[in-house]
Chain A
Amino acid sequence: MTDITVVGAGGEYMESVVVVAWHKKKGESVKAGELVVTVETAKAATEIEAPVSGILSDIRAQIGEEVAIGTVLGTLSEDGADTAAPAVSAAQTAPPAAPPAAVPAEAYVAAAGGERINASPLARRVAASRGIDLAGLVASSPSGRIKLRDVDAVVAVPAERPVAGTTASASVSAGVSLTRRGSGEGTPFVFLHGFGADSFSWQPLLATLGVEVPAVLVDLPGHGRSPAMDGAGSLEGLAFAVARALAGAGIEQCHLVGHSLGGAVAIALAEAGRLAPLSLTLIAPAGLGPDIDGDFISGFCRATRAESLKPWLLRLFADPTIVTPGYVQAALNGRGDALRQAQAALAGRIFPDGTQAVEMRCALRRVAVPQKIIWGEGDRIIPMRHALGTGPQAGIHLLPNVGHMPHVEAAATVARLVLQNARSAG
């Protein structure tokens, strides 16, 4: 008997996943490496392959069900004998998720009362291959016919979906979205994401950090759930907006973790004394040198379609397999046109002409708290040599086979370093 489970490694996993499709029926035989089940997080759909050959003897997580990472989704047995073991405890299991796709304002009824479902041949074929039941879909076409886009919408999860995990809660403070999660007491970790990203990008790191670590996830103005804000079009403006939001939420002492642009914001926050960080962990931070991949910035800002966004997302990672179609679609859905334009305007101020116009090196030297700088050796956005010469108090950690997203590609390592840094603050 072998369990089929989701493990928190590789992609941008959250603490829980939603089962999207079973690709095998109960009692069907499966070969090792064959696709058995597709699950999705807020960022991406992930296909889970059979760990061993056998017969799918039990399906424990039904389609639409939200289950915690590590939950047994089903079991494979050698002989196909039905397992008598009770289903895994649902203590950690959240209630079934809301319908995965937002129903469009203009929705058309595809099937009424047991009649044949009206779907295009392509939609039927793709839905069958993904194990999606057409009966649950809503046609977006005035013809009432379910089209491919309606099937795709099941996998492409809109970013409005709440952060999973029993203790997460989002609130808005001074116009900035703050998501608190973690059950434990103590000094919170404040996470500042990079340019064009949002608070969801921390999910792989949080999954390995553990549920008890108190964390506050910031959506920078013009990113994720925080709309663009007057006066937040510069680094100082961003830092001020974040400081005001954290103060409004009663957060003074914290451990600061910033990635890329969020790293520069973290330095600005720490240096200006608006916040009293106990430790500072910078992941591929901006502000430590003039170089940045200007093509990435402009291409990313222009992209309005999956085809044009994917090549730029690929540049973020050393491992191209992270950028699945579902990942691209989720990234696209997470950024409407208003946000895209706000981000393009911000990039014009902070990264004009493919150059980092913000200089935080001196500011960083003035910050006295324990510092760690983490960089992927395969970073194609900001060169890792910017980590050099940052002062004697900064520990530098260079990660091989990792690109610009160490918190995604090497989440466990980064989690360990973040905790180490916090402990060294005493």
Chain B
Amino acid sequence: MAMMRYAEALNRALREEMQRDSNVFLFGEDIARYGGVFKVTKGLMEEFGESRVRDTPISEQTLAAMAVTASMTGTRPVLEIMYADFMPLVLDALINQASIYEYLWPNVTMPFVLRTQGGGGAGAGAQHSKSLDSLVAHIPGIKVVAPVTPADAKGLLKSAIRDSQPVVFLEHKLLYNLRDEVPDDADFTVPIGKAKTVREGADISIFATSRMVLESQKAAELLAQDGISAEVIDLRTLRPLDLDAITASIAKTHHAVVVNEGWRFCGYAAELSATIMDFAFDDLDAPVARVTLPDMPVPYSEPLELAVLPNAARIADAARATLK
């Protein structure tokens, strides 16, 4: 175990996987010489050379198509898209190529990873603060992960690189400096599709991913002061969902709050609540509550941004209302 920042844990995962498999290579804007705007790829060009760590022009649509086609030829590309806000530019590659080719041509595999970071809270404004989880989680054939701890970041990125299917890896700009213990072991991985119960509880289940797990844990503390025992489940993977973990928790608590930093309408929280109703309807003692960003751009002004982002107090309020 070693204490390291989330960004360092990702860097470690990339480095270990590049050492392990010479087919792994990285490309994206400013990731080579500059080491990435969040320093996730720092030092990797120096170690692995310019052919395996490549700077590219600002052309997300082309980059995504490159990831698809390079992976079809037997390499394992890891593409960095600097802000999740630009994911709409890569959607054609994901929707019309990555999610389809395996269906059209059974011998084709596309083992690429698309890393990006999203989320608000950094005063980055309406074009650099979005959480577009649902846009990518909507696409069949694409796996989507969103770890919150440095250890899960390392373990899931390694699993994503080794996976034979396209994986979108969602990071959060406020998590890069989060420090925690991370296993040193080069064989350490975290399985895709497995949720983690980060706090056990009996009265209500809170489901979240990425930074919202931290807010949910704080919410559970607030609720505990009211004598409410909240269970917090870090889904870690948005797709495929760990249904067993979700239904088992609801069978215990009979109440659920789903939290997502993205928009509400047709958002990831909507999908989660519908899934809960599909698989655990008869265990529900109240409607599933959703805590999301309102359907609006993320404001640049700090007080306004704080006023709209989901946080611990809003999650706790939703839990209390559900339990009434």
Instruction: Show the binding face of B for A, using Cβ within 8 Å.
Output: 202, 254, 281-286, 324
Contacts and interface: CB of A to CB of B under 8 A. Distances in A.
Nearest to A146: B285
Given A142-B324, A148-B254, A148-B285, 18 more contacts: A120-B284, A120-B285, A120-B286, A121-B283, A121-B284, A121-B285, A122-B254, A122-B282, A122-B283, A122-B284, A124-B282, A125-B282, A141-B286, A141-B324, A143-B324, A147-B285, A147-B286, A307-B202
Nearest to A151: B285
Nearest to B283: A122
B324 A121 contact: no
Interface residues of A, number: 13
A174 B254 CA distance: 47
Nearest to B250: A122
* Nearest 8 Cβ contacts at the A-B interface: A122-B285, A120-B285, A125-B282, A148-B285, A121-B282, A121-B284, A121-B281, A147-B285
Contact of A145 (B202, B282, B286): B286
A176 interface: no
A109 to B, nearest CB: 16
Interface centre among A120, A124, A143, A307 (most CB of B within 10 A): A120
Contacts of B202: 307
A190 B108 CA distance: 87
19 contacts: A120-B286, A121-B281, A121-B282, A121-B283, A121-B285, A122-B283, A122-B284, A122-B285, A123-B285, A124-B282, A125-B283, A141-B324, A142-B324, A143-B324, A145-B286, A147-B286, A148-B254, A148-B285, A307-B202
Contacts of A142: 324
B1 to A, nearest CB: 35
Interface centre among A121, A124, A143 (most CB of B within 10 A): A121
Contacts of A148: 254, 285
Interface in A116-159: 120-125, 141-143, 145, 147-148
Contacts of B284: 120-122
Contacts, number: 28
A124 B284 CA distance: 10
A94 B233 CA distance: 52
Interface of B is mostly: loop
Contacts of B286: 120, 141, 143, 145, 147
B33 to A, nearest CB: 57
A8 B281 CA distance: 40
Nearest to B286: A120
Contacts of B281: 121
Contacts of A124: 282
A411 to B, nearest CB: 35
Interface in A137-190: 141-143, 145, 147-148
B78 to A, nearest CB: 44
Interface centre among B202, B284, B286 (most CB of A within 10 A): B286
A123 B281 CA distance: 11
A20 to B, nearest CB: 21
Contacts of A141: 286, 324
A141 B283 CA distance: 17
Interface centre among B202, B283, B285, B286 (most CB of A within 10 A): B285
Nearest to A123: B285
B203 to A, nearest CB: 11
A121 B281 CA distance: 6
A178 to B, nearest CB: 37
Contacts of B285: 120-123, 147-148
Contacts of A120: 284-286
A165 to B, nearest CB: 37
A122 B250 CA distance: 11
A267 to B, nearest CB: 41
B248 to A, nearest CB: 15
Interface in A302-331: 307
Contacts of B283: 121-122, 125
A121 B277 CA distance: 10
Contacts of B282: 121-122, 124-125
A107 to B, nearest CB: 14
A125 B280 CA distance: 12
A84 B7 CA distance: 82
Nearest to A307: B202
Interface in A9-51: none
Contacts of A122: 254, 282-285
A117 to B, nearest CB: 15
A208 to B, nearest CB: 39
A143 B287 CA distance: 10
A136 B318 CA distance: 29
A122 B322 CA distance: 14
A92 to B, nearest CB: 40
A155 B286 CA distance: 21
A126 to B, nearest CB: 9
A70 B324 CA distance: 42
A141 B285 CA distance: 11
Interface in A259-296: none
A124 B254 CA distance: 13
A88 B202 CA distance: 46
Contacts of A143: 286, 324
Interface string A62-96: 00000000000000000000000000000000000
Nearest to B280: A121
A183 B283 CA distance: 49
A277 B324 CA distance: 53
A123 B284 CA distance: 8
Contacts of B254: 122, 148
A65 B281 CA distance: 33
Nearest to A142: B324
B322 to A, nearest CB: 10
A104 to B, nearest CB: 13
A143 B285 CA distance: 12
A142 B322 CA distance: 10
Nearest to A141: B324
